[in-house]
Amino acid sequence: MGKALIIGCGGVASVTIHKCCQNSEVFEEICIASRTKAKCDALKAKLDGGKTKISTAQVNADNVNELVALIENFKPDVVINLALPYQDLTIMDACLATKTNYVDTANYEPLDTAKFEYKWQWAYRERFEKAGITALLGSGFDPGVTGVFSAYAQKHYFDEIHYIDILDANAGDHGYPFATNFNPEINIREVTANGSYWENGKWVETEPMEIKRVYNFPQIGEKDMYLLHHEELESLALNINGIKRIRFFMTFGQSYLTHLKCLENVGMTSIEPIEYEGKQIVPLQFLKAVLPDPATLGPRTKGKTNIGCIFQGIKDGKPRTYYIYNVCDHQECYREVESQAISYTTGVPAMIGAMLLMNKTWNKPGVYNIEEFDPDPFMDALNQWGLPWQESFEPELVD
Give the residues lining the site for ligand NDP (CB under 6 A). 8-13, 34-36, 39, 59-62, 82-85, 87, 105-106, 140-144, 182-183, 186, 294, 346
Q: Which is nearer to ligand NDP, 34 or 301 (CB)?
A: 34
In the complex with ligand NDP, the residue whose CB is nearer, 190 or 313, is 190
322 burial via Cβ count (<10 Å: 0-12, 13-18, 19+): buried
Residue 314 Cβ, how far from ligand NDP at the closest point, in Å? Answer: 29
CB 7 within 8 A of CB 80: yes
Give the C-alpha separation, 138 to 343, whole Å. Answer: 14
CB of 82 to ligand NDP, least distance (A): 5
Least Å from the CB of residue 130 to ligand NDP: 27
The nearer residue to ligand NDP, 36 or 363, going by C-beta atoms, is: 36
CB of 278 to ligand NDP, least distance (A): 25
Q: Taken in order 336, 7, 81, 251, is the CA torsion positive or negative?
A: positive
297: helix, strand or coil = coil
Shortest distance, position 96 Cβ to ligand NDP, whole Å: 18
Residue 181 Cβ vs ligand NDP, minimum distance, rounded to whole Å: 8
Distance linking the first and last C-alpha atoms of the chain: 48
Q: Compute the distance between CA of residue 104 and CA of residue 134 in angstroms, rounded to an integer.
A: 12
Minimum distance of ligand NDP from residue 132's CB (angstroms): 26
Nearer CB in complex with ligand NDP: 157/176:
176
Q: Which residues, 6+ apart, have CB-to-CB distance to 303 below 8 Å?
A: 170, 171, 172, 173, 220, 329, 330
Complex with ligand NDP: residue 9 or 20, whichever CB lies closer:
9
Q: In whole angstroms, how close is the CB of 75 to ligand NDP at the nearest point?
A: 19
**Residue nearer to ligand NDP on the CB measure, 21 or 295:** 295
Contacts of 105 (CB under 8 A, 6+ apart): 12, 81, 82, 138, 139, 140, 143, 144, 346, 349, 350
CB 4 within 8 A of CB 76: yes
Q: Which residues are within 8 A (CB) of 63 and not within 5 positions of it... i.e. 6 or more apart?
A: 90
CB closer to ligand NDP, 11 vs 298: 11
Residue 235 neighbours by CB under 8 Å, 6+ apart: 118, 137, 138, 143, 147, 369, 371
Task: Determine the residue with CB nearest ligand NDP.
Answer: 10
186 vs 313 by CB, closer to ligand NDP: 186
Beta-sheet pairing, 212-217 with 279-281: unpaired
